[in-house]
Amino acid sequence: MTSRPFEFQVAATCNRARAGAMETPHGSVPTPAFMPVATQGSVKGLLPQEVRDLGATVILSNTYHLYLRPGIDYIEKAGGLHAFMGWNGPLLTDSGGFQVFSMGSLTRLSDQGVTFRSHIDGGLHGFTPEEAVRYQERLGVDIMMCLDQCIAANEGDGRIKEAMDRTHGWAVRCRETWNSPHQALFGIVQGGISKGLREESTRFITGLDFPGHAVGGLAVGETKAQMYDMVSYMDQLLPRDKPRYLMGVGSPEDLVQCVARGMDLFDCALPTRVARNGALFTPAGRVGITASRFKGTTGPVVEGCDCYTCRNFSISYLHHLFKAKELLGLRLASIHNLRFVQRLMEEMRSKILDGTFESYAQDFLAAYKPTSESVRMAQKERWLEMRTGS
């Protein structure tokens, strides 16, 4: 590891799409970039070197989960999160704000911070904004996130503004606590799908002079059209000389749409989560590997795909593994989906650099069939109801 500070430069643009690079103490991150999610210090089922070989240059872990198990002290004594999990590249940690949101009735919020019941043993814990930053500093990660209050899109402007104002107060305290010049701290813009609130939040957060900015509070119940509209608006508001991180977005079509709208950095558990449930990405959309039509089918999941799975196994073999409930199937599907997403990011970057991104994006979106919007919204609504206990 070197002692170089965090830096970001935009190398090229194609309309609003941007290709750049983030420099961190643990290496460079070409952007646009997708971060595989290692919530508890591991990308589920995969070795760190496998994740690197798939094209990932930065991964995301979660302060809330690591705080609960195995504990910040434990990881710090092990030499920090990089050494503990065997990853030598850049690391970003979420502060835990989304986990607080997702636990619903298990949490209590105040301007001071958040208290919550552990999902592991029911023990009572608390995070203040100051502690969220100190914990991340002790983990030794390259990019840290401010503690924020995430809120569902359907909560109404009054509650969304209350959460935004609290996020602003916490951001000030995070900024004052930040004391590690070689770890970048990103501020988070909130405001739901209200353009007025988003403008107010962007003005406040960017005024605190963070090295980078995240767009939070999207992909939490709004329609895709609403999300895309808000991302387009954020492109008009955010500084152009600092990285833009769109939190929690990872569907292939969303990555293309939001790179086209000026975003640089993304994360989501979706590629590996759906892989473990037998859904594999193809240029035409997701396919369910357990479908009977794949029994005995020759050839790979995607012709020409350079992932280990497609280079070595047939789609019928993956079908067999999933039907037999073999763990190898989960690994091979995860490898394929993560490589699909990383290759997508690489191709978008290349097309931005050579000025052909717009035609590339049009062709990709014309061929790729997303999951049904009505099905997706129904699933999100069920999740929100479970979260709140209603």
Tokens coding 193:
């799908």
Q: Is 267 a catalytic residue?
A: yes
Helix (H) or strand (E) holding 212: strand 212-215
Which one from 94, 148, 235, 254 is the annotated catalytic residue? 94
Which one from 165, 267, 354, 363 is the annotated catalytic residue? 267
Q: Which residue has the tokens 């940690």?
A: 93
Strand, helix or coil for residue 189: strand
For residue 86, what is the DSSP state?
T
Q: Which residue has the tokens 């209200």?
A: 194
Print the SS3 string covering 256-325: HHHHCCCCCEEECCHHHHHHHCCEEEECCEEEECCCHHHCCCCCCCCCCCCCHHHHHCCHHHHHHHHHCC
Q: Is 165 a catalytic residue?
A: no
The rounded distance, in Å, linking the Cα atoms of 106 and 39 is 19
Of the candidates 258, 193, 261, the residue with the CA atom closest to the CA atom of residue 223: 193
The rounded distance, in Å, linking the Cα atoms of 178 and 185 is 7
Tokens coding 361:
């994006």
**Enzyme catalytic residues:** 94, 267
